[in-house]
Amino acid sequence: MAHTGRRDAPELPDFSLLKRLARDQLIYLLEQLPGKKDLFIDADLMSLLDRIANVTTLKQHEVDKLYKVELKPIVSTSDQLCFLIRPRIQTVKWIADIVNSDKASGRFRRYKIIFTPQKFYACETVLEEQGVYGDVTTDEWAFYLLPLDDDIISLELPEFFRDNFLEGDQRWVTTAGSALRLVYSLYGPFSKVYGIGRCAKMVYESWRDQVEDGEQKARQPEIGNVFLIDRDVDFVTPLCSQVVYEGLVDDIFRIKCGSVEFGPEVTSSDKSLKVMVNSQDKVFNEIRNEHFSNVFGFLSQKARNLQTAYDKRRGMDIQQMKTFVSEELKGLKQEHRLLSLHIGASECIMKKKTKQDFQELLKTEHSLLEGFEVRECISFIEEHINRQISMIDSLRLLCLLSITENGLLPKDYRSLKAQYLQSYGIEHLLTFANLKQIGLLVEQQPGETLTVMESKVGKLVNDKTAGKLTDAFSSLAKKSNFRALSKRLVLIPKSGEEYDLRVPRDMAYIFSGAYIPLSCKLIEQVLERDGWTGLEEVTRMLNGHEFAVTGGTNGTEARIKTDPQRIILVMFLGGCTYSEISALRFLGREKGYKFIVLTTAITNSARLLEALLDNHA
């Protein structure tokens, strides 16, 4: 639309290759188990599988029946059972139960587990402990990367977030390293790697290790620089309401593996419709990065154009009509269909947002970001909780309050927690414990407490472990310092100035001009400075773990700004939001970069918080 920006942005590499690789590997694995077999697939692998293969592909390789893993007794009559699963202990236990009950009833079958993207020792131990090791063979489907769009690749590992940041389990570090390694061997070599965050550092190390072990053929790089960032470097951004079209669609309809299901209220028929939302959808592609306030205008303009195009038919002779039908009509009809779909979706978004008093909600969010009228914000949140409006939204506002204010005053914390438990269930005690652990919702600590405790414990142990303890405590002591960071990096544009959302002047447009996402601002700054020089104070407030290194083992290419140098891979560890992707696209247009987003999963405020809930068995 109104975007201009630099026209000389480089071309993106072709990622469809990743899909072919994954499909061929899967076929190979299926062929390792000749003969008819029933295939059990983990529920969260289904959409993923849909993107790279279809039922016919599976049938061609002697898959007889397909089942979803439901952790219930099975009904299959096949002699061979194959399980395609994520490496989870619970699922493996279920499989062991199946094998054991078959054994008990004297039934003989062959079993194979295909773990994706890799297996874990803990899973194999379950097989061993349950006495079925050897009865069950295992394999790995190294499917690390699913391209969701021209510029988005996902590991589709939502559990990465909770496992790593809440539980402190580093099981996915190597996985992320391998994923990066795969990108590197296909599209590298990289010339620079920047990063920030503890996990980012570990992933970098893992990747470097793997690269050293392997062989890199000299080739023309298609990706120049890499930026690794931990999700916990910036929790504020994913907790904000999204107001850019693609983000809104995700917040409201939940995009899953690049596809979304529009219900009857959108399709204006009695059926739901599943559609892919990506750059192939020409209408979507033009509005995805737009602030929602522009979308209606754009869609109605588009509708008028369409009408004009249809109207051309009038007064055509037979010959002209024939060309029209064969050349244009199909395209027009396609556009027509997409247009009515997105108009329907926009209407539905409007309706839902009006109903939940979105305007007031946004006002509170913006006040929190600015640190303005915080008391009023607290009473808004309180009332939100009292009226039992959306449990997740209440939690989201509480977390935003805590991060922006460096924790809640003890009295506020106690009162808000009590009211929350009254409104949404006392079992959320467990949720609050989790949020405290991860640092999203905490009480303000009187300054010294932690350092005192640290030195006390430090005296008890030797130096080496003391270092580790400090590490552990730093996660506890972790202050968000949001207000200071925001000032330093000028994340909040001056209020009072008119912000024209039609012609965005910076990345703040993705939040109605109220806030530049911290994650994207860091990326911008580091690329501009070619490192962290001058950002020392910022990194200190972010708890350090920043790095900037020359990647690869075979030396850098000449330091000219070639096209690949301007293609930047940003890897989000713990998930990234569509709003952040929109912001990076904007930044790319402004500075002549192309960003490729590699993320462990697409996230948003609801997914992020749901991963931390513990109110169910």
Partner 1 sequence: MTRPKPEDDEYWNSSKFSAFTFDDEDDEFTKMKESKRAVNSMLVDDDDDDDDVEKVSWSGEPIGSISWSVKETASSIRSSGEQSFPKIDITPSLPKQGSGYSLSSLFKGKQSKQFQSFSESFTDTSVRAYAPELRKPKSECKDYMSDWSPEETVRRMRKGKVFSLERFRSLQEKLLLLDEAVSENDGNVITAVLIYLKKSLSKEILFRELMLREIALRHYVHYLKEMGEQKLLVELMKALGRTDDMALMQYKEHLNIKDEGQRRDFLKNCLSLPFSQDDAIHVQDHYTLLERQIIIEANDKRGDAEIFKKFPRKASILNMPIITTLYYSCFYHYGESDGTFSSPANIRKTFRISEKQYILTALGARAKLKSWFDVDSLFNTKNWLGYTKKRSPIGFHRVVDILQKNNAPVQVLQEYMNLIDDPELKLSLAQKYKCHDIVIDTYRDLKDRQQLIVYRGKVERGSKEDKKIEELLCNMQIRWKN
End-to-end CA distance of the chain: 48
DSSP string covering 447-469: TTHHHHHHHHHHHHS-HHHHHHH
Decide whether 29 or 243 has the Cβ nearer to partner 1. Answer: 29
> By CB under 8 A, what part of segment 328-387 binds partner 1?
383, 386-387
> By CB under 8 A, what part of segment 214-233 binds partner 1?
214-215, 217, 219
CB 18: neighbour CB atoms within 10 A? 20
431 binds partner 1 (CB under 8 A): no
Contact stretch for partner 1 (CB under 8 A) within 448-456, 499-507, 524-532, 609-617: 609-617
186 binds partner 1 (CB under 8 A): yes
Instruction: Give Cα separations from 109 to 64, 67, 77, 421, 479 (angstroms).
Output: 15, 17, 10, 50, 55
Q: Strands 546-550 and 136-140: what pairing?
A: unpaired
Contact stretch for partner 1 (CB under 8 A) within 22-30, 144-152, 302-310, 565-573: 22-30
507 touches 586 (CB < 8 A): yes
Site for partner 1 (CB under 8 A): which residue of 472, 530, 537, 550? Answer: 472
CA distance 240 to 396: 8
Decide whether 127 or 399 has the Cβ nearer to partner 1. Answer: 127
Decide whether 323 or 553 has the Cβ nearer to partner 1. Answer: 553
Cβ neighbors of 343 (< 8 A, separation 6 or more) are 299, 303
**Could you tell me the smallest distance in angstroms from the CB atom of residue 38 to partner 1?**
19
571 touches 227 (CB < 8 A): yes
> By CB under 8 A, what part of segment 549-578 binds partner 1?
553
CA distance 499 to 494: 10
Contact stretch for partner 1 (CB under 8 A) within 50-58, 85-93, 485-493, 542-550: 85-93
3-state DSSP assignment of residue 366: helix
**Could you tell me the smallest distance in angstroms from the CB atom of residue 286 to partner 1?**
33
146 binds partner 1 (CB under 8 A): no
Site for partner 1 (CB under 8 A): which residue of 65, 171, 336, 591? Answer: 171
Site for partner 1 (CB under 8 A): which residue of 57, 78, 100, 137? Answer: 137
Site for partner 1 (CB under 8 A): which residue of 3, 6, 20, 529? Answer: 20
Strand pairing partners for 596? 569
CA distance 443 to 597: 34
> By CB under 8 A, what part of segment 151-170 binds partner 1?
163, 167-170
Contact stretch for partner 1 (CB under 8 A) within 411-419, 480-488, 530-538, 556-564: 411-419
**Could you tell me the smallest distance in angstroms from the CB atom of residue 575 to partner 1?**
18
574 touches 161 (CB < 8 A): yes
> By CB under 8 A, what part of segment 30-69 binds partner 1?
31-32, 34
Backbone φ/ψ region at 429: left (φ over 0), alpha (ψ -120 to 50), beta: alpha
433 binds partner 1 (CB under 8 A): yes
Decide whether 174 or 225 has the Cβ nearer to partner 1. Answer: 174
